[in-house]
């Protein structure tokens, strides 16, 4: 099963001999609220919920921590930096983060990392130490170290700021020699110069992308050249109202909610930021979420982190996909704070009672579909009635567990609202599961290889407008631009004639998987039978795709010679070394794919090759960005 610890709740019920009835009873209940309350009663009755939020955290005696740190210091003096890091880490594992010893050990480890040449780790620890109880009269040392690490990483803008802060603190403390101050002042000047030089040599960033034809009147994140239409097999979908060309921008969407995909990822936890940053600072209370800076931290608190903070540890121990559970709680708290409990419950209750029109789902009363609107996100596909009963029960249990912890932490919720909030959490979990976790092909990503074949998802993000696109195993639109950006730009990668549907891929394309395995994936992950062209026509996979022109695949015999000579040119193009200038190549590739689109029957190998090159060229490598992004603008 693809959810972690899926049998967490069912196993315990099974041992109490009640599980068999549970699924039957649950499936008889028609309203989400009654299902939630049923599950809650069950878990309470079988004492499966936490009694208290007190964590029995045993710290070492302060003497033990100090001793470990001293041992680390000895290794450090002897220039045995690896051993020093090991000792400081041991000290940190047993120390109370509220003590000076903890802050000193983090700071010392930062120094050891620096000497090992592990500048990113050194920087991270220096920033962490600043957030804890590091003696303020010594704080200039941390800023100097941060500056040194940033300088070594080529982050001259950040280094200038750190050295300047160091100098300021040296003067305030009045303890450093003039010689030391002069050295730091020199570092400030040098980094400033390097930063100016670096800025000048940086390539001009790509121009801001614009939606082709401007914004859509009713769906502002989509192009004016598309509209929503219903189809029997796919429900709602996005269709072209004019011919759309490869390279045209068809959607620019912002996430409704988002968070790092794992706590090991260097991504800011604040939903409105989600930037990569090698020197994130932790929330000083829970230490479990990290931010770029105080500004992001404050904004996240305004959106509800202060309410989830006391239960962060417990959410992290819930089964399922912890990061998704976290995101669900974050989503609820954000909207609870925006609307207040009464209004929130009224809205979610009305939603669950009303008959949903599949065509206008997610549009507001003024006829707008906006990605920043609660009901737009809340009404995204949740495959009503298709989610298996065991999965539905599992999500209900998680929602019960999380809400129970929230209440234990002091969150006030009148009894009459428990069912509404709980049921809304279940819906949020399912919407997130289907539209952001499994559909993470659109999520912010970094490349692990220069050619971007392998990427790593760094954040879970819910894009309400992009979620309107149906899936095709032969997508004609794809994400483009910087892959790590939280703002997602979708571009056409093939010609899309007026009246055709715009489809992205949910992660599978026909070239790599047989029809059976594609259908299997769509069914298992998204609960639908795929009705895209390659599935209906059973297109062959990769090595069976025709790679020669013949009377069988030339659609227009008058064009045969031109197509044939252009194909020869394209083969030469593929073999030739490429310059860095993508734009120059893209114009050529767009014209070639358009020629094949109208004249050759698909699938055809050169068409598929051209398509792949276009998709790759539309995205910007972020391997450099992983470092560069944290420098100042």
- Which residues of the shown chain bind ligand SAM in the complex (CB under 6 A)? 233-237, 358, 381, 383, 435, 467-468, 470-472, 526, 528, 530-532
Q: What are phi and psi of 317, to 5 degrees?
A: -100, 5
Q: Treating both helix axes as pointing N-terminal to C-terminal, what angle do 139-152 and 100-115 enclose, rounded to 10 degrees? A: 30
Q: Which residues pair with 504 in a beta bridge?
A: 471
Least distance in angstroms from the C-beta of 236 to ligand SAM = 3
Helix runs in 243-368, H state only: 294-302, 305-308, 312-315, 322-339, 341-353
Complex with ligand SAM: residue 306 or 531, whichever CB lies closer:
531
Complex with ligand SAM: residue 440 or 616, whichever CB lies closer:
440
Complex with ligand SAM: residue 85 or 535, whichever CB lies closer:
535
List of residues 6+ apart from 500 with CB closer than 8 A: 239, 240, 476
Helix (H) or strand (E) holding 422, with range, is helix 415-432
Q: Which residues pair with 459 in a beta bridge?
A: 260
Tokens of 402: 């999380």
Q: DSSP for 504-573, please give it.
A: E-SS--TTTS-HHHHHHHIIIIIS-----HHHHTTPPPGGGS--S--TTTBS-GGGHHHHHHHHHHHHHH
Between the CA of residue 587 and those of 115, 248, 581, 583, 617, what are the distances in Å? 49, 12, 11, 6, 11
Least distance in angstroms from the C-beta of 355 to ligand SAM = 15
| CA-based R_g, the chain, Å | 28
Are the CB atoms for 432 and 596 separated by under 8 Å?
Answer: no
Complex with ligand SAM: residue 467 or 484, whichever CB lies closer:
467
Complex with ligand SAM: residue 160 or 467, whichever CB lies closer:
467
Least distance in angstroms from the C-beta of 228 to ligand SAM = 8
- CA–CA dist 16, 530 (Å, integer): 41
Complex with ligand SAM: residue 472 or 484, whichever CB lies closer:
472
Selection from 243, 271, 267 nearest residue 494 by Cα:
243
Least distance in angstroms from the C-beta of 117 to ligand SAM = 46
Judged by DSSP in three states, 233 sits in: coil
Buried-state track 188-206, b at ≥16 Cβ within 10 A, e below 16: beebbebbeebeeeeeeee
- CA–CA dist 216, 633 (Å, integer): 32
Least distance in angstroms from the C-beta of 27 to ligand SAM = 21
Least distance in angstroms from the C-beta of 488 to ligand SAM = 14
Q: How many separate helices (H) and strands (E) can be counted in the chain? A: 24, 14
Are the CB atoms for 107 and 124 separated by under 8 Å?
Answer: no
Tell me the residue nearest to ligand SAM as measured from the CB. 236
Are the CB atoms for 51 and 62 separated by under 8 Å?
Answer: no
Least distance in angstroms from the C-beta of 238 to ligand SAM = 8
- CA–CA dist 440, 506 (Å, integer): 8
Least distance in angstroms from the C-beta of 603 to ligand SAM = 17
Are the CB atoms for 344 and 352 separated by under 8 Å?
Answer: no
Least distance in angstroms from the C-beta of 359 to ligand SAM = 8
Are the CB atoms for 255 and 440 separated by under 8 Å?
Answer: no
Least distance in angstroms from the C-beta of 339 to ligand SAM = 24
Least distance in angstroms from the C-beta of 509 to ligand SAM = 12
Selection from 106, 141, 101, 103 nearest residue 121 by Cα:
106
Least distance in angstroms from the C-beta of 428 to ligand SAM = 15
Least distance in angstroms from the C-beta of 122 to ligand SAM = 43
Helix runs in 202-310, H state only: 294-302, 305-308
Complex with ligand SAM: residue 470 or 480, whichever CB lies closer:
470
């Amino acid at each position: 099963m693809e959810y972690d610890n899926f049998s967490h709740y069912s196993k315990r019920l099974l041992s109490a001999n009640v599980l068999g009835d549970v699924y039957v009873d649950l499936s008889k209940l028609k309203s989400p609220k009654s299902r939630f309350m049923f599950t809650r009663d069950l878990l309470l009755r079988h004492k499966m919920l936490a009694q208290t939020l007190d964590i029995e955290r045993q710290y070492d005696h302060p003497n033990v921590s100090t001793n470990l740190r001293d041992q680390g210091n000895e290794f450090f003096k002897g220039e045995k930096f690896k051993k020093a890091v090991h000792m400081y880490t041991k000290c940190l594992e047993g120390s109370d983060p509220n003590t000076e010893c903890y802050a000193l050990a983090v700071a010392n480890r930062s120094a050891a990392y620096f000497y090992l040449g592990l500048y990113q780790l050194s920087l991270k620890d220096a920033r962490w130490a600043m957030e804890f109880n590091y003696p303020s009269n010594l704080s200039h040392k941390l800023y100097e170290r941060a500056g040194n690490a940033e300088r070594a990483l080529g982050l001259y803008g950040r280094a200038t700021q750190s050295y300047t802060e160091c100098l300021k603190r040296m003067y305030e403390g009045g303890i450093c020699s003039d010689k030391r101050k002069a050295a730091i002042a020199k570092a400030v000047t040098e980094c400033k110069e390097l930063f100016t030089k670096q800025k000048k040599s940086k390539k001009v960033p790509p121009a801001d992308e614009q939606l082709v034809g401007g914004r859509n009147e009713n769906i502002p994140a989509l192009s004016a050249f598309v509209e929503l239409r219903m189809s029997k097999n796919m429900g709602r979908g996005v269709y072209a109202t004019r011919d759309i060309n490869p390279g045209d921008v068809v959607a620019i969407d912002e996430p409704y909610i988002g968070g790092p995909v794992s706590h090991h990822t260097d991504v800011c936890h604040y939903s409105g930021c989600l930037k990569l940053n090698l020197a994130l600072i932790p929330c000083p209370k829970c230490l479990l979420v990290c931010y770029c800076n105080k500004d992001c931290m404050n904004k996240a608190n305004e959106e509800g982190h202060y309410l989830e903070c006391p239960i962060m540890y417990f959410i992290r121990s819930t089964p399922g996909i912890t990061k998704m559970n976290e995101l669900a709680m974050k989503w609820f708290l954000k909207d609870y704070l925006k609307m207040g409990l009464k209004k929130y419950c009224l809205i979610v209750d009305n939603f669950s009672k009303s008959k949903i029109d599949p065509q206008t789902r997610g549009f507001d009363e003024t006829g707008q579909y906006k990605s920043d609107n609660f009901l737009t996100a809340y009404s995204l596909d949740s495959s009503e009635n298709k989610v298996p009963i065991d999965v539905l029960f599992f999500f209900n249990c998680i929602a019960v567990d999380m809400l129970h912890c929230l209440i234990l932490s002091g969150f006030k919720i009148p009894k009459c609202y428990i069912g509404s909030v709980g049921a809304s959490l279940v819906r949020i979990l399912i919407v997130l599961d289907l539209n952001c976790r499994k559909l993470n092909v659109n999520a912010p990503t970094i490349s692990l290889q220069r050619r971007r074949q392998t990427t790593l998802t760094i954040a879970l993000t819910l894009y309400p407008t992009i979620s309107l696109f149906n899936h095709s195993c032969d997508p004609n639109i794809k994400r483009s631009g910087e892959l790590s950006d939280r703002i997602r730009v979708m571009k056409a990668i093939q010609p899309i004639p007026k009246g055709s549907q715009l489809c992205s891929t949910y992660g599978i394309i026909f070239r790599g998987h047989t029809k059976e395995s594609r259908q299997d994936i769509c069914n298992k992950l998204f609960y639908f039978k795929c009705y895209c062209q390659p599935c209906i026509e059973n297109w062959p996979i990769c090595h069976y795709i025709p790679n020669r022109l013949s009377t069988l695949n030339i659609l227009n015999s008058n064009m045969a010679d031109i197509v044939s000579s252009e194909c020869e040119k394209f083969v030469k193009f593929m073999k030739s070394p490429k310059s860095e200038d993508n734009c120059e190549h893209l114009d050529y590739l767009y014209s070639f794919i358009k020629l094949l689109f109208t004249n050759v029957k698909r699938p055809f190998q050169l068409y598929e090759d051209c398509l792949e090159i276009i998709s790759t060229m539309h995205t910007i490598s972020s391997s450099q960005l992983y470092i560069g992004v944290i420098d100042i603008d």
